Amino acid sequence: MNTTQQEIVNKTAQFIEDKFQGEGTGHDWHHIYRVWKSAENIAKTEDCDPYIVSLAALLHDIADHKFYDGDLLEGSRQATKLLTDLGADEDTISKVADIVKRVSFKGAKVKDEMPSIEGKVVQDADRLDAIGAIGIARAFAYGGSKHRLLYDPEENYEMHDTFDAYHKNESSTIAHFYEKLLLLKDRMHTNTAKQVAEQRHRVMEDFLQQFYGEWEGKK
Please identify, among the stretches 9-17, 36-44, 58-66, 137-145, the one whose residues bind Ni ion according to the rule CB under 5 A.
Answer: 58-66
How far is the C-alpha of 60 from the C-alpha of 70, rounded, in Å?
15
Q: Is 126 in the site for Ni ion (CB under 5 A)?
A: yes
**How many residues bind ligand ADP, per CB under 6 A?**
17
For the chain, the 3-state helix, strand and coil shares in percent, each to the nearest 5, are 65, 0, 35
Q: Is 61 in the site for Ni ion (CB under 5 A)?
A: yes
- Out of ligand ADP, Ni ion, none, which partner does residue 173 contact, by CB within 5 to 8 A per kind? ligand ADP
Q: Is 176 in the site for ligand ADP (CB under 6 A)?
A: yes
In our burial notation (b when 16+ CB lie closer than 10 A, e otherwise), range 75-106 reads bbbbbbebbeebebeeebbebbbbbbbbbbbb
C-alpha distances (whole Å) from 12 to each of 7, 25, 54, 62, 69 are 9, 22, 9, 11, 25
The least CB distance from residue 123 to ligand ADP, in Å, is 9
Which residue among 75, 107, 132, 143 contacts ligand ADP (CB under 6 A)? 143
Q: Is 27 in the site for ligand ADP (CB under 6 A)?
A: yes
Which residue among 58, 63, 83, 139 contacts ligand ADP (CB under 6 A)? 139
How far is the C-alpha of 45 from the C-alpha of 206, rounded, in Å?
29
* Interhelix angle 132-145/191-215, nearest 10 degrees: 60
Q: Is 124 in the site for Ni ion (CB under 5 A)?
A: no
Q: Which of residues 56-95 bind ligand ADP (CB under 6 A)?
A: 61, 64
Residues lying near ligand ADP in the complex (CB under 6 A): 26-27, 61, 64, 104, 126, 130, 135, 138-139, 142-143, 165-166, 173, 176, 181
